[in-house]
């Protein structure tokens, strides 16, 4: 007699039935089911098979794929049970939970968010597995609120008021009780702090902490943007007082213990409107035939001591924020624009990387030291570019020499596998009231590359100086960039094939970077250039700060850090302090403490980028508000189910063509191919397509531009 197949009972495939039972529980996550109910859902009606289903379910309980809640009643057993993570709300009407607790995506619907908002840290009960193999769950506890201040417009009733929030993905208004308006009037923009999150009411309760003014005014909207991302726009009195009490004069003993570069030709190159000059170059030929290039960086940590209000403020801010009409500095103006700024004709304290290079731009030796300099000349990028092109001007010999080195360094970097992502930046011409009267593209030229290459080299040498000493395992702050995800590269490759392009190589290979650089060169000046560049950048991982070095993929560096901008970036201040510690033979710093500072700095960097983009959107809307009815040539720069985004060629301003304005057909969203496709006539709109658009409507306050096709 043959043995019975253990996966086959009386002609039933147990493995297949178990899968069907799991599917039933997945789609009935909140129900406790017995074998009769499961049999009915499986459309099995004969009693003998019912008993087999009962036996199978008992086995599944022993295997722990089901949990017996009551005698004979079962529920699916999700191994993770409860997970914790961060809420990320999508436009598609649900949220995902960013968590390391499970490998698959965790989906939470609006109904199951229980008032959790973007960025909140939450506890989630998993109750179902979906067809796409992701989990579904519900928020059971909000562990930490990401923010408790919101920006919006006040709407007043007779005895109450509400704040209508500006931000996306906030599904409620905020109730303001009588006496908590702080003088705010109907229609004014304010900042409101949540004081209560009642569980049984839809709206939380809050109080006005600041009245910004009437919507649409420049300062009101800029302050709204900063408040939306929880970014400050003023320093406390205590911080300003500390800055003002720092002496201007440099003590003689401090000068004596530093390497003196005051008699070496030295210069700065910065944007025309810059006031915080945190890097300078010195150039001289040595007797041994080598060139000495000094990369001099403002010694901010000499002035900003740990355990001070100034340092705490810089740590909290983590970065300067560059909005269209202003800079919100990390440090008070007395430091950023005066004491630490490497202004010409003034003695300045620096932290320097001194490079000794041969005529082929090879670094034969280098050292890192604290120095004193006196810059001979402050150049704008245009000034330096003029010298590079004409060969004439003050310090032309020095500038031409470092320019020659920069070209060699740049070429070597790309051959080594660095990516060449260089995009024109959108800039605005503003009148005296800060209203945009013109838009133009700022192009990188040789003068920009000159400074960029030497900053990259200095950052790299500092990271190597600490990181290569593997025996000591010294805690340090690195700027890291992971390999791109293979799925993103695959998706990017599929898209560019529609334009007749391709890239080769895997996501972690040198071949990919050289192939990508070739692609970016080939699309220069073509209609699809901006769209492909955007998608190429999105296919890459985000660079961030960490004490765990994995190298910098985009730059093709094994060791990289941020050392060269301590006036505007707190990680550079951390690097300066750690360098000083280790050069004085200090012990390795607390890695956990510095990793938390790295996480904070990475988060604040992303907030600053978001605020900068919002200020650009605001100014674009202001600019186009005066041009409603104008027709422009544009490129489709984004495709979503709700419409097409189009970017105007001549000024880079972007707007939305709502799908409801496409009257000629019913259009559906083909996400895989980045296009809207007409169901009946077959017309399609794809990323990179050239179109003519008309400015239909502009809402400056919401930063929205509506367009129609012409």
Q: Do residues 135 and 158 share a domain?
A: no
Q: What are phi and psi of 472, to 5 degrees?
A: -85, -20
pTM, two decimals, is 0.83
Strand stretches in 263-381, DSSP E: 266-270, 279-285, 291-298, 321-323, 326-328, 347-357, 363-374, 377-380
Confidence bin at 608 (pLDDT 50/70/90): very high
Q: What is the pLDDT of residues 265-322, one digit of tens each?
A: 999 999 998 889 999 999 999 999 999 999 999 999 999 999 999 999 999 999 999 9
- CATH number for position 638: 2.40.50.140
Judged against a pLDDT cut of 90, whether residue 647 lies above it is answered with yes
Instruction: Pick 609 or 159 by higher pLDDT.
Output: 609
Residue 394 has a CB neighbour count (10 Å cut-off) of 14
pLDDT score recorded for residue 200: 67
Q: Residue 474: helix, strand or coil by DSSP?
A: coil
User: Is residue 325 a part of any domain in this protein?
Assistant: no
On the question of pLDDT at 334 being above 60, the answer is yes
Query: Is residue 308 one of the residues assigned to a domain?
Result: no
In a domain, residue 287? The reply is yes
pLDDT band at 221 (very low <50, low <70, confident <90, very high): very high
Number of domains the chain is built from: 6
Helix H or strand E encompassing 313: helix 309-317
pLDDT > 50? residue 3: no
Q: Are residues 370 and 495 in the same domain?
A: no
Q: Has residue 80 got a pLDDT over 50?
A: no
Looking at every residue in the chain, the average pLDDT score rounds to: 89
pLDDT value of residue 4:
39
Q: Going along 133-201, which residue ranges are E strands? A: 135-144, 149-156, 161-165, 174-176, 189-196
274 shares its domain with 376: yes
pLDDT at 30: 60
Give the pair of three-digit tokens for residue 632. Answer: 């422009």
Q: Is the pLDDT of residue 413 over 70?
A: yes
3 state SS of 301: helix
Tokens for 448, please give them: 């920009």
Domain limit, last residue, from 144, 174, 192: 144
CATH number at residue 23: 1.10.10
If asked whether residues 556 and 523 sit together in one domain, one would say yes
What's the average model confidence in pLDDT over 652-668? 92
What pLDDT does residue 470 have?
64
Answer yes or no: is 701 within a domain: yes
Residue 696, in any domain of the structure: yes
The tens digit of pLDDT for each residue in 47-60 reads 888 889 999 999 88
Please determine, for residue 27, whether its predicted confidence score (pLDDT) is greater than 70: no
Last residue within a domain, chosen from 76, 109, 133: 76
Residue 226 lies in a domain: no
Are 599 and 641 in the same domain?
no
Whether residue 161 is found in the same domain as residue 291:
no
If you ran DSSP here, which 8-state letter would residue 557 be given? B
Helix (H) or strand (E) holding 519: helix 510-522
Domain boundary among 76, 102, 132: 76
Compute φ and ψ for 415, nearest 5 degrees.
Answer: -65, -30
In a shared domain, residues 652 and 696: yes
* Shared domain check, 278 and 355: yes
Q: Which two tokens stand for residue 350?
A: 């620096």
Q: Within this chain, do residues 153 and 139 fall inside the same structural domain, yes or no?
A: no
Residue 57 counted as domain residue: yes
354 lies in the same domain as 292 = yes
Residues 367, 258: one domain?
yes
Which tokens in the block code for residue 679?
Answer: 């169901």
Predicted pLDDT of residue 461: 97
Above 80 in pLDDT, residue 520?
A: yes
Q: Which of the residue ranges 78-87, 284-293, 502-511 has the most confident prediction, judged by mean pLDDT? A: 284-293
Q: Is the pLDDT of residue 507 over 70?
A: no
Whether 473 and 582 map to the same domain: the answer is yes
* CA gyration radius, the chain: 30
Q: How confident is residue 81, by pLDDT bands cut at 50, 70 and 90?
A: low
Q: 59-73, 132-146, 167-181, 338-352: which has the highest mean pLDDT?
A: 338-352
Structural domain harbouring 698:
626-709
Listed range (65-79, 148-162, 174-188) with the worst mean pLDDT: 65-79
CATH of the domain at 157: 2.40.50.700
Q: Can you tell me the distance from the alpha carbon of 694 to that of 709, in angstroms, rounded to the nearest whole number? A: 6
Do the domain assignments include residue 448?
no
Give the range among 97-111, 246-260, 580-594, 603-617 with minimum mean pLDDT.
97-111
Confidence of residue 437 (pLDDT cuts 50, 70, 90): very high
With 0-12 CB in 10 A as exposed, 13-18 as middle and 19+ as buried, what is 680? exposed
* DSSP bridge pairs for 270: 380
């Amino acid at each position: 007699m043959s043995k019975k197949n253990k996966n086959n009972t009386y002609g039933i495939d147990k493995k297949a039935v178990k899968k069907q039972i799991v599917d039933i529980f997945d789609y009935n996550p909140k129900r406790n089911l017995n074998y009769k109910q499961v049999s009915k859902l499986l459309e099995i009606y004969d009693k003998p098979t019912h008993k087999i289903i009962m036996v199978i379910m008992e086995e599944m309980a022993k295997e722990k794929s089901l949990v017996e809640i009551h005698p004979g009643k079962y529920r699916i057993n999700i191994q993770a049970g409860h997970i914790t993570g961060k809420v990320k709300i999508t436009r598609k009407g649900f949220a995902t939970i960013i968590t390391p607790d499970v490998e698959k995506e965790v989906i939470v619907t609006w109904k199951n968010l229980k008032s959790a908002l973007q960025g909140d840290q939450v506890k989630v009960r998993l109750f179902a597995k979906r067809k796409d193999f992701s989990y579904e769950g519900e928020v059971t506890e909000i562990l930490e609120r990401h923010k408790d201040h919101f920006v919006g417009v006040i709407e007043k009733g007779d005895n109450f008021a509400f704040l209508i929030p500006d931000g996306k993905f906030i599904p409620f208004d905020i109730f303001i009780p009588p006496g908590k308006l702080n003088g705010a009037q109907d229609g004014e923009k304010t900042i409101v702090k949540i004081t209560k999150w009642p569980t049984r009411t839809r709206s939380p309760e809050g109080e006005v902490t600041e009245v910004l003014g009437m919507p649409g005014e420049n300062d009101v909207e800029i302050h709204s943007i900063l408040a939306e991302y929880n970014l400050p726009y003023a320093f406390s009195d205590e911080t300003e007082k500390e800055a003002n009490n720092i002496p201007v004069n440099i003590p003689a003993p401090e000068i004596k213990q530093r390497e003196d570069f005051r008699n070496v030709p030295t210069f700065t190159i910065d944007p025309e409107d810059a006031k915080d000059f945190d890097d300078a170059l010195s150039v001289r030929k040595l007797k041994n035939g080598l060139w000495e290039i000094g990369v001099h960086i403002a010694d901010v940590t000499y002035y900003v001591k740990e355990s001070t209000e100034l340092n705490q403020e810089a740590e909290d801010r983590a970065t300067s924020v560059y909005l269209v009409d202003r800079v919100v500095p990390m440090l008070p103006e007395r430091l950023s624009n005066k004491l630490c700024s490497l202004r010409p004709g003034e003695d300045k304290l620096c932290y320097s990387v001194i490079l000794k290079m041969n005529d082929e731009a090879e670094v034969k030796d280098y050292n890192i030291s604290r120095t004193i300099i006196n810059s001979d000349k402050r150049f704008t990028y245009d000034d330096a570019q003029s010298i590079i092109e004409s060969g004439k001007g003050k310090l032309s010999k020095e500038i031409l020499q470092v320019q020659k080195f920069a070209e060699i360094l740049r070429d070597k970097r790309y051959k080594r596998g660095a990516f060449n992502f260089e995009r024109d930046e959108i800039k605005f011409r503003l009148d005296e009231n800060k209203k945009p009267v013109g838009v133009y593209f700022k192009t990188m030229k040789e003068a920009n590359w000159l400074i960029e290459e030497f900053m990259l080299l200095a950052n790299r040498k500092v990271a190597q100086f600490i990181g290569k000493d593997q025996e000591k395992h010294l805690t340090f702050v690195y700027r890291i960039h992971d390999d791109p995800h293979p799925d993103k590269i695959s998706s990017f490759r599929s898209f560019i094939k529609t334009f007749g392009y391709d890239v080769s190589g895997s996501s972690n290979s040198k071949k990919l970077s050289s192939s990508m650089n070739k692609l970016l060169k080939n699309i220069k000046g073509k209609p699809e250039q901006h769209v492909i560049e955007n998608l190429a950048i999105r296919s890459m991982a985000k660079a961030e700060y960490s004490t765990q070095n994995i190298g910098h993929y985009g730059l093709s560096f094994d060791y990289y850090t941020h050392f060269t901008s301590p006036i505007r970036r707190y990680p550079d201040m951390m690097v300066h302090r750690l360098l000083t510690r280790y050069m004085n033979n200090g012990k390795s710093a607390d890695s956990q403490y510095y990793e938390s500072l790295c996480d904070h700095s990475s988060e604040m960097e992303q907030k600053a980028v978001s605020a900068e983009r919002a200020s650009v959107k605001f100014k674009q809307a202001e600019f186009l508000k005066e041009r409603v009815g104008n027709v422009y040539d544009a490129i489709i720069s984004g495709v979503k189910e709700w419409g097409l985004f189009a970017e105007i060629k001549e000024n880079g301003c972007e707007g939305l063509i709502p799908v409801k304005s496409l009257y000629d057909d019913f259009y559906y969203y083909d996400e895989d191919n980045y296009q809207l496709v007409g169901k009946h006539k077959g017309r399609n709109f794809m990323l990179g397509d050239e179109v003519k658009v008309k400015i239909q409507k502009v809402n400056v306050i919401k930063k929205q531009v509506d367009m129609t096709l012409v």
